[in-house]
Chains A and B, each alone.
Chain A
Amino acid sequence: MSEQNQPGYGVGAESLERVRSMLAFTPQARALGIELIRLEPARCWGKAPYKPELIGDPDTGVIAGGVLTTFLDQISGGAVFAAMNKPVVTATIDLRIDYMRPATPGQDILAEAHCYKIGRSVAFVRAVAYEQSPDDPIAHAVGAFMINSDGGRKPGANLKEPRP
């Protein structure tokens, strides 16, 4: 493991603000209303407020599974950030989500993510979503994330026509 990729660097008020501004500049995170609560070395906590427009089951008012997917993906990315000693761009390689029970209608959802292993190119994260306590989980996620996924690609790279 290289020196720069030891988990646990770069967490402070500055990092918290940086992740907050990353969320503020991510349209989908804003649309869901995702908030950052806390950052510790290699760990990230967030909140996704209950919103009627995010309901997946109109009969019960339970939030859609897709909201949890996006929320857990986002907070997992925050945990990777909190594990690095410099700003990184991450891309999700894969994400596996277990839905243990429906979220309680009307209640905000919290999540906690832990980047438990970080290499030169790949970070491994697990995350859990809950309302009151991680011991009573709504959903659990395990993901692998590519670090510095832009691979030298410049801003706006995705606006060009794809190669044939």
Chain B
Amino acid sequence: MSAPPKARLTNALARVPYAQFLGVRAELHGDELTLVLPYAEHLIGNPMLPALHGGVVGALMELTALTQLAVAARSEKFPKTIDIGVDYLRSGRPVDTFARARVVKIGRRIANVQVEAWQDARDKPIAAMHGHFLMPEDESPS
């Protein structure tokens, strides 16, 4: 746990094949984390409009919650997702997408997190998510 937070985060995401498959990268300013999903053709779910796949936007927000919780818990281990609820507000245009998470509460075992995803303007979110996550067991001897 001696690596600086930014490097730890990048390492943690780089180890997840699915994050690489999506092309997600993390930006950390202070303790504020933004996940960036650069536009790529394979993320499209509606080729007519074209629009990003709703599942991809949901996946980005879930990854944001998991990463933010890892930052908050100063751990390289990701929590486990219990449930998520995604509200789709606008169709995802074929441009870069950003997501930020707000940890509402971390309990002893369960965390509650809210996430928003946006594209051009932060105040025009394309989707919102709230979820519950099971925190990793504390490894330190008690």
Which residues of A does B touch, CB under 8 Å?
25-31, 52-58, 63-67, 69-74, 89, 91-99, 102, 150, 153, 155-159, 162
Please tell me if the beta carbons of A158 and B49 are within 8 angstroms of each other in the complex.
yes
Measured in the bound complex, the distance between the Cα atoms of B91 and A55 in whole Å is 27
Question: Please, could you name 14 A-B residue pairs with CB atoms under 8 Å apart, sorted by A?
Answer: A29-B45, A56-B17, A56-B18, A64-B19, A67-B59, A69-B84, A91-B46, A92-B86, A95-B58, A96-B85, A97-B86, A99-B80, A150-B48, A156-B49
Q: Which of B42, B49, B55, B81 contacts A153 (CB 8 A)?
A: B49
Are A58 and B55 closer than 8 Å at their CB atoms? no
State whether B50 touches A67 (Cβ < 8 A): no
Closest to B77 in A: A59
Contacts A28-B56, A73-B55 given; does A94 touch B87 at CB 8 Å: yes
Asked if A27 and B49 make an inter-chain contact with CB atoms under 8 angstroms apart, the answer reads no
Q: Which residue of chain A has the shortest Cβ distance to B51 in the bound complex? A: A158
Contact B48 A70 (CB under 8 A): no
Given A26-B53, A69-B58, A92-B88, A99-B47 contact (CB < 8 Å): no
Nearest residue, chain B, Cβ from A72: B55
Collect the chain A residues with CB atoms within 8 Å of residue B125's CB.
Answer: none
The answer to whether the Cβ of B63 comes within 8 Å of any Cβ in the partner chain is yes
Smallest CB separation, A112 vs chain B (Å): 17
- Closest residue on chain A to residue B93 by CB atoms: A158
CB-CB contacts of B52-83 with A at 8 A, as 1s and 0s? 11111011101100000000000000101111
Contacts of A150 in B (CB 8 A): 48-49
Measured between beta carbons, the chain A residues less than 8 angstroms from B56 are 28, 66, 70
Interface of B is mostly: mixed
Is B96 located at the chain interface by the 8 A CB criterion? no
- Which B residues are in CB contact (< 8 Å) with A57? 16, 78
B46 x A26 contact (CB < 8 A): yes
State whether A95 touches B18 (Cβ < 8 A): no
Give the distance in Å from the alpha carbon of A71 to the alpha carbon of B58 in the complex.
11
Task: Verify A69–B62 contact, CB threshold 8 A.
Answer: yes
B119: nearest chain-A partner, CB-CB: A162
Q: Which of B44, B49, B55, B88 has the most CB of A within 10 A?
A: B55
Beta-carbon contact of A96 and B84 below 8 Å = yes
**Residues in A neighbouring B17, C-beta threshold 8 A:** 52-56, 58
Is the pair A28, B45 in contact by a Cβ cutoff of 8 Å? Answer: yes
Which residues on the B side are within 8 Å of A91 (C-beta)?
A: 46, 54, 88, 91
- Closest residue of chain B to A62, judged by CB? B80
B20 at the A interface (CB under 8 A): yes
- Shortest A41–chain B CB gap in Å is 24
